[in-house]
Amino acid sequence: MIDAVRQALTHIYNVIPTPILEAVFKPYEYGVSLDNLILNKVLLSRVRDDISLRGGRVLKLILNQNWCKYTSSPSPYALGISGAYTVFHIPPEARDNRDISCVLGIRFPYTIGTSNSCNFYNNNSLKGNTLSGLACAVLQSQTGANQLSVPQGIVKPGNIIQLDPPQYNFVPWQVMVRLSFDDNFSGMDVSSIRTFCLLCEYAVKAYIYVNSVIIVESNLVTKGVELGVVKDIISNYSDANEKYEEQLLAMAGAQIYEPDRLRNILLRMVPKR
């Protein structure tokens, strides 16, 4: 597997002079390596959140009853009864040890029978649709009878998904979530790494420009580098934020070609029989 962070750092060192990086990030003052400073101040604090919102891995979860958290807020549909059917704490193993950035959608799992005689707690209902269940589903699609109200999923701190409006009876809702990247950006497909490197380059250049343009204009020389050279290089970074936003769109497009996301897109495009 190709290390995305190592590729990005290597690219940055090849396009930005090291003396300028050291003058801005100041590893000699913090006693930390230049790699760690770039990673923490730019890649993790800005790039990771941006690409996690626009891309990131998409995962389907079936909300497990064991994940329910007790809540004292009564449900308006439960006649004043409060319970643990609204808030779900998603364990790390269910989300690949990554944080949930957003909920993309919620739907009822169609593998469960849809007839009026089906019961969520009846094991026979979990084997799939019956002929009578399919007939009822056709009738319900035309009349709207006996349809479940699909709640909205809200992400809370601590990888908690809250359903709104609150649910009374337990329903194993299928939730599609988007996961954030971890500190190592692991799992990134090779089709996105080149675009990721360019995105990190513009993010670092934007950081350099914002944090040093006033110092340079004040004629302050750092690390013994000639002011004229530093000023010319940093002045060329004035449009780095604009290029970063453009590259962010390219990164979102590159992530579409990751196998998991591409498979979901193609399945939605193919008509079902």
Rounded-to-integer distance, Cα 233 and Cα 230, Å:
5
Closest Cα partner for 251 from 8, 75, 1? 8
Per-residue pLDDT, 14: 96
270 within a domain of the structure (yes/no): no
Phi, psi of 151 (to 5 degrees): -80, 170
Domain, as residue range, for 48: 4-56+183-264
213-254: pLDDT as tens digits:
766 655 555 555 556 778 888 889 999 999 999 999 888 877
128-162: pLDDT as tens digits:
455 555 655 665 665 554 555 788 888 988 899 98
272 within a domain of the structure (yes/no): no
Per-residue pLDDT, 79: 44
pLDDT at 118 over 70: no
Q: Are residues 170 and 149 in the same domain?
A: yes
- Strand ranges, E, within 108-167: 152-156, 160-164
Number of domains in the chain: 2
Q: Are residues 249 and 187 in the same domain?
A: yes
Model confidence, pTM: 0.69
Q: Are residues 141 and 219 in the same domain?
A: no
